[in-house]
Amino acid sequence: MSQDLKALKSRLLELVNKHAVVHGDFILTSGARSTYYIDGKLLSLMPEGLNVLAHVILEMIKGDPVDAIGGLTLGADPIIGAVTALSHDAGRPLAGLIIRKEKSSHGREKRIEGPLKPGMNVVIIEDVVTTGSSSFKAIEALKDADCKIVKVIAIVDRLAGGGEAFAAQGYRFEPIFTLKDLTL
């Protein structure tokens, strides 16, 4: 890991712990109950959090053959926007692809928004992975559009089976942090 990536991840972890970890009684997307919630949007909708996160992701995909980044709306939307904007500045422009849970019922009736082309190599972006179900919805839509999934990146892996589910389906999963890294 480069010094830059190490420093960026260190700052990002501070921001995640300070702003994105919320305590209470929650029901997760997976249906499980939890006494804490990792609200990735609290991080990705604040200027420094989104900026640092986008830089970390660009560093994580530096050596990968990537044409686009994508993810399921809503959690991935700001992250996709930031990474695509920074990729232009870095001289390695990436397309952004936002995947709806289901096809739009109006306009062009698309499920995937953005400059989609068959054959694209795509990195899936997720804020938090529990079982991986949201990422699998995005993967399914992109595979239906003849795209190749390079890997899945999440801000946090809750260590609740998502990583194993990706491995079982043959997908590379690279969380930035796991539950063990957080101050709960």
- C-alpha distances in Å from residue 86, one per residue of 13, 14, 39, 53, 81: 20, 22, 23, 11, 9
For 131-140, what is each residue's pLDDT tens digit?
Answer: 999 999 999 9
Domain extent, residue 101, equals 3-181
Q: Give the C-alpha separation, 98 to 84, whole Å.
A: 12
The confidence score (pLDDT) of residue 160 equals 93
Q: How many CB atoms lie within 10 A of CB 154?
A: 30
Classified as helix, coil or strand, 131 is: coil
Higher pLDDT, 169 or 29: 169
**How big, in percent rounded to 5, are the helix, strand and coil portions of the chain?**
40, 25, 35
pLDDT bucket at 184, cuts 50 / 70 / 90: confident
The confidence score (pLDDT) of residue 107 equals 77
The confidence score (pLDDT) of residue 10 equals 98
Question: What is the residue type of 120?
Answer: M
The H or E element that residue 84 is part of is helix 77-89
Whether residue 152 has pLDDT greater than 90? yes
Q: How many CB atoms lie within 10 A of CB 170?
A: 7
Question: What are the tokens at 98?
Answer: 């936002």
How many domains are there within the chain?
1
Helices 47-60 and 3-15: angle between axes, nearest 10 degrees: 140
The CATH number linked to 168 is 3.40.50.2020
Whether residue 148 has pLDDT greater than 90? yes
For 73-131, what is each residue's pLDDT tens digit?
Answer: 999 999 999 999 999 999 999 999 999 988 777 777 899 999 999 999 999 999 999 99
The confidence score (pLDDT) of residue 32 equals 84
Using the structure block, give the residue that is written with the tokens 């422009």.
93
Q: For 10, phi and psi rounded to 5 degrees?
A: -65, -45
The confidence score (pLDDT) of residue 119 equals 98
Query: What's the pTM?
Result: 0.95
pLDDT bucket at 59, cuts 50 / 70 / 90: very high
DSSP state of 158: -
91: Cα separation from own chain's centroid: 21
The confidence score (pLDDT) of residue 29 equals 79
For 5-48, what is each residue's pLDDT tens digit?
Answer: 999 999 999 999 999 999 999 998 778 899 999 999 999 999 99
Positive or negative torsion for Cα 80, 84, 89, 94? positive
